[in-house]
Amino acid sequence: MGVGAAEATLKLNYVSHCHNQYGASVCLWLSGGNNNNNNNNTTKTKISHLLYRDDFKLIAKSEEELQKQIQTTKTFSDNIHMEFGLEKCAKIAFKRGKLVHSQNLVIDINREIQQLEQGKTYKYLGIEESEGIQHQQMKKILKQECSRRLRMILKMKSELNARNIITAIGALAVPVLRYSFGIINSRTEEIKKIDMKTGKMLTMYKMHNPKADIDRLYVKREEGGRGLVQIEAAYKAEIINIAEYLNTNYKEDQFVNIVKSHESTEPNMNSIIKTAAKITKELCQQNEMSDAKQDGIQRTKARLGESLKKKWKNRVMHGQYIRNIDRQLISEEDTFFWLSKGDLKTETDSVIVAAQDQALQTKYYATKVLNTETDSKCRLCQQFDESVDHIISGCPIWQKNST
């Protein structure tokens, strides 16, 4: 094996933990000192490090213990010809959950790991931490990055067709936030605001007519929507996923068990399991279902999509088009082929959808939505409601004149 020839940088983060600190809030892993992992009692499990790919965190009860751990890590790294990326490493010490000043961590004569200064943070798996995760700071960073990517994609609208631009948003901008769900504490209200902001940006770039239905934006293109990922739905799906994982794996996996126990001590709004239960309950109420438990995770997620479609369909004006389609037993697949193909320009896509959502100034719209008129009958034939459908294909006078 040619491992020795390659010189890799190992990004390491060090967390030291001082004496006399059991059951620390900083790191839930440090609640005991026994290495015996054979029983189910989570307080007896000691975790000395966290490792994911090249991101490594050492956790120790004392400076001495940490020093020993770093030597073990150094020996191992030297043997496989890996090097520490010292500039990316930090050492941090806590006393009773508070960050305290400590010495740099010595690796060998020439090399030290700097201790983290007060007010500074270190990154583990892309998340800023110091005395625990820095939720507010992370939220700000993630929202900015998501907007930056969204703007970048929207600026390319002349080069991408309607479908591809929506796909790009889902594949490049949304994952920035999705990665943080369940790690960074978020409220549904905050998430809803991000969706609103995205909607406004789409309007700014003429990709969404403000009079068209907002929920239709999030319905699958195959079902008559425009296929945008709703961040609120992505958030809810992710929370339900994590809760499902914790609830099914805690018996087999002691670490999952620790996380689950820790979860139960969190306040309601920060607990994944409690939030997931709340989301499932709300979904059931919206769909007039009594029992959610038997339904399974896949169905629950599908229902997130269904409830958006239902909201669109139930709107007096916006839903008129989709309601008519259901009534006339015509092929949904063929009807929405132009949407699922998505090869129109994104502005054209938006205008057609807005017209179908009755967002034009018809008399029907003026009567039913604006309430500025009382008569909804067509100004040409005076027989039928003057809706968009009627003007396009239903008005006998209009058709006679135009053929």
How far from each other are the two terminal CA atoms of the chain, in whole angstroms? 78
Contact 129, 52 (CB under 8 A): no
Pick between residue 56 and residue 364 the one whose CB is nearest to Zn ion.
Answer: 364
Pick between residue 146 and residue 378 the one whose CB is nearest to Zn ion.
Answer: 378
Helix axes 231-249, 188-204, angle to 10 degrees: 150
As measured in angstroms, the least distance from the Cβ of 243 to Zn ion is 54
Beta carbons within 10 angstroms of residue 64's beta carbon: 11
Q: Is 240 left (phi over 0), alpha (psi -120 to 50) or beta?
A: alpha
As measured in angstroms, the least distance from the Cβ of 358 to Zn ion is 15
Binding mask of the shown chain, residues 323 to 342, with x at each position contacting Zn ion by CB under 5 A:
--------------------
Pick between residue 123 and residue 368 the one whose CB is nearest to Zn ion.
Answer: 368
Which tokens go with 290? Answer: 């009594």
Distance CA 304, CA 282 (A): 10
Pick between residue 117 and residue 375 the one whose CB is nearest to Zn ion.
Answer: 375
Beta carbons within 10 angstroms of residue 386's beta carbon: 24
Q: Is the dihedral of CA 258, 260, 265, 270 positive or negative?
A: positive
Pick between residue 307 and residue 376 the one whose CB is nearest to Zn ion.
Answer: 376
Residue numbers 260-289 binding Zn ion by CB under 5 A? none
Contact 312, 216 (CB under 8 A): yes
As measured in angstroms, the least distance from the Cβ of 367 to Zn ion is 15
Pick between residue 344 and residue 391 the one whose CB is nearest to Zn ion.
Answer: 391
3-state secondary structure of 46: coil
As measured in angstroms, the least distance from the Cβ of 387 to Zn ion is 10
Distance CA 227, CA 335 (A): 16
Place of tokens 């126990």: 261
Binding mask of the shown chain, residues 365 to 394, with x at each position contacting Zn ion by CB under 5 A:
-------------x-xx-------------
**Residue 326: which residues within 8 A CB-CB, separation 6 or more?**
none
As measured in angstroms, the least distance from the Cβ of 318 to Zn ion is 22
Size of the site for Zn ion (CB under 5 A): 4
Q: How many residues are recorded in the chain?
A: 403
Binding segment for Zn ion (CB under 5 A), chosen from 277-285, 294-302, 333-341, 395-403, is 395-403
Pick between residue 130 and residue 387 the one whose CB is nearest to Zn ion.
Answer: 387
As measured in angstroms, the least distance from the Cβ of 402 to Zn ion is 12
As measured in angstroms, the least distance from the Cβ of 380 to Zn ion is 4
**Interaction site with Zn ion (CB under 5 A):** 378, 380-381, 395
